[in-house]
A and B are shown apart, each in its own frame.
Chain A
Amino acid sequence: MVKLVDLSQEIYQGMPVYPGHLKTVLWYHNTHEETRASFPDEYPFRSYASMGMLMSDHGPTHVDSIFHIRPDGETIDKLPLEMFYTEAVCLDVSHVPADKFITLKDIKDALAKHKLTVKKGDTVLLYTGHYNKKYGTKDWLFNYTGLDMEAAKWLGDQGVVNIGEDAPSTDSSQAMKTRFYPGHIVCREKRILNTENLANLDKVAGKRFIYAGLPLKIKGGTGSPIRAIAILNE
């Protein structure tokens, strides 16, 4: 029996966005009331509504292209679709405090606990619990854990194609001060995707499944908002 789990955060005006990125603005561009005037009375179909949206390509739940972090990297429309629809594992690292890093030991302990391995071509999701605990508070954007260099390098060496987490970045909030982003450095070196602002990872932690997080086909795009889901065979 196939079960789908929605791993995406909501998109709405006023939603938190990584400091410095474009904020999200939504409005009704056509309303049912307005469009009614343009349809003849005798027809049954007489109105429609549409929305306008202004957003960062890194605002809501999104995936980074390689071009996001290196000028010679592939833009989002040039990356193979197969990278966004892959096998995946989700590791429970929710015990790591916000002011500490996720270490290689944390990753290996989680794999052992879950009886899982990381395979070449996998997407690896990190369940930090930050979304469940802190979304909607100031801490959401300013106080969260992230990969340290050894853990990021190890994931890179396993041949993963995408690293995702339920926080605003793969890198700890400390990176905003230190300018040192181990997760992004490894993704840049190894041309690995990075998926940020996921939700509901508690529902897939400790499991292997199919991950789908397909980007919009934005010409030359640096990343894209996505609807991320897990496809479980249960």
Chain B
Amino acid sequence: MKVIDLTQEIYNGMPVFPGHLRTVVFPFHTHEETMGSVRGEKGDFSYTTFGLLLSDHGPTHVDSIWHISNKPGSKKIDEIPVENFLTGAVCLDFTNIKPKGIISVKELESALGKAKLDVRKGDTLLLYTGHYDRTYPKKEYLTENPGLDHDGTVWLAERGVINIGIDASTIDSCGNTANKFFPAHQVCAEYAIMNTENLCNLGRVSGKRFTYVGLPLKIRGGTGSPIRAVALLDQ
């Protein structure tokens, strides 16, 4: 079995979706200041820890349903069963779609056909747009990505997809989000589908079926969670 990392790095100054809390990683204990605090067999040693200040939607992360819907019954991240984060998955190639472009039903059908894959109930569906490879960490990373429209998202929802992931900061096209229009998020809210944003390395799993793992931290009342997303490929 091969484990492929689909996760972006967490560091000070990393791009964060406008309006969310920025990332701060700071030394809390340093090796220098703790030297001597641990007694070893061959002399004393030291330890180090960090403090983390993070948005639950900052780095590579998964959205809870509560993030996008405050309707009663919308689940927070700690209320979603762990089984929903370890699923069958397919990744489809949309690198031909232009910046701010739209992925709709036609594009989904065509990409599935080309990859000779099918979408199954309970799947995670990853959209490989190439946007991370082209723009990260420039400003365009947050303002230019292509994404799903309303009909494309409904098409996935009707096929039973439970999690939609993308190598960009949102599954909605920036062609729409620039006008505060989030049709893909709206459909996910209606169908209670999760979003996984800020993935990377999707080129390595594009056109494949595999097991996707993207488990959230167990944050009480969390609206989402940073994750370590990986693909598990049988070899």
Residues of A within 8 A of B (CB): 4, 6, 8-12, 20-22, 26, 28-30, 32, 35, 38-40, 43-45, 47-58, 60-61, 67-71, 77, 81-82, 84-85, 178-181, 184-185, 188, 212, 214-227, 229, 231
Q: Is B39 an interface residue (CB 8 A)?
A: yes
Residue pair A212, B213 in contact (C-beta under 8 Å): yes
A3 vs B5: C-alpha distance in the bound complex, in angstroms? 24
Find chain A residues with CB under 8 A from B52 CB: 53-57, 218
The chain B residue with its CB closest to the CB of A81 is B3
Scan B146-179; emit 1 where CB is below 8 A from any A CB, else 0. 0000000000000000000000000000000000
Q: Is B130 an interface residue (CB 8 A)?
A: no
Residue pair A53, B45 in contact (C-beta under 8 Å): no
A81 vs B6: C-alpha distance in the bound complex, in angstroms? 11
Given contacts A45-B68, A71-B46, 9 further A-B contacts (CB under 8 A): A43-B181, A45-B182, A45-B185, A50-B223, A85-B232, A188-B45, A217-B228, A219-B9, A220-B11
Find chain A residues with CB under 8 A from B85 CB: 227
Find chain A residues with CB under 8 A from B19 CB: 30, 35, 50
Find chain A residues with CB under 8 A from B60 CB: 217
> A69: which of B47, B183, B185, B224 is its contact (CB, 8 Å)?
B47
A81 vs B204: C-alpha distance in the bound complex, in angstroms? 16
Residue pair B83, A71 in contact (C-beta under 8 Å): no
Q: Is B8 an interface residue (CB 8 A)?
A: yes
Residue pair B217, A225 in contact (C-beta under 8 Å): yes
Find chain A residues with CB under 8 A from B56 CB: 50-53
| A63 CB, nearest partner CB in chain B, Å | 11
| A97 CB, nearest partner CB in chain B, Å | 24
Residue pair A81, B49 in contact (C-beta under 8 Å): no
Q: 12 A-B residue contacts at CB 8 Å?
A: A4-B83, A10-B78, A50-B67, A52-B53, A53-B53, A55-B51, A56-B28, A56-B50, A57-B52, A68-B47, A227-B215, A229-B82
| B179 CB, nearest partner CB in chain A, Å | 8
8 Å CB interface, B209-235 against A? 213, 215-228, 230, 232
A85 vs B3: C-alpha distance in the bound complex, in angstroms? 9
A22 vs B24: C-alpha distance in the bound complex, in angstroms? 14
The chain A residue with its CB closest to the CB of B185 is A45
Q: Which 9 A-B pairs have the closest CB atoms?
A: A45-B186, A214-B228, A227-B215, A12-B220, A219-B11, A32-B70, A179-B39, A51-B56, A52-B21
Residue pair A58, B49 in contact (C-beta under 8 Å): yes
Residue pair A38, B219 in contact (C-beta under 8 Å): no
Q: Is B73 an interface residue (CB 8 A)?
A: no
> B230: which of A12, A40, A214 is its contact (CB, 8 Å)?
A214
Residue pair B66, A181 in contact (C-beta under 8 Å): no
Find chain A residues with CB under 8 A from B59 CB: 216-217
| A206 CB, nearest partner CB in chain B, Å | 21
For B48, B186, B221, B230, which residue has the most chain A Cβ atoms within 10 angstroms?
B48
Find chain B residues with CB under 8 A from A178 CB: 39
A222 vs B48: C-alpha distance in the bound complex, in angstroms? 6
Residue pair B48, A67 in contact (C-beta under 8 Å): yes
Contact A214-B213, Cβ < 8 Å, known A11-B220, A45-B182, A53-B219: yes
Residue pair B53, A54 in contact (C-beta under 8 Å): yes
The chain A residue with its CB closest to the CB of B53 is A54
Contact A82-B3, Cβ < 8 Å, known A6-B218, A222-B48: yes
| B98 CB, nearest partner CB in chain A, Å | 24
Find chain B residues with CB under 8 A from A81 CB: 3, 5, 228, 230
A215 vs B213: C-alpha distance in the bound complex, in angstroms? 12
For B38, B66, B68, which residue has the most chain A Cβ atoms within 10 angstroms?
B38
A9 vs B86: C-alpha distance in the bound complex, in angstroms? 19
Residue pair A219, B10 in contact (C-beta under 8 Å): yes
Find chain B residues with CB under 8 A from A224 CB: 228
For A21, A49, A179, A181, which residue has the most chain B Cβ atoms within 10 angstroms?
A49
Find chain B residues with CB under 8 A from A61 CB: 218
The chain B residue with its CB closest to the CB of A84 is B228
The chain A residue with its CB closest to the CB of B66 is A49
Q: Is B29 an interface residue (CB 8 A)?
A: yes
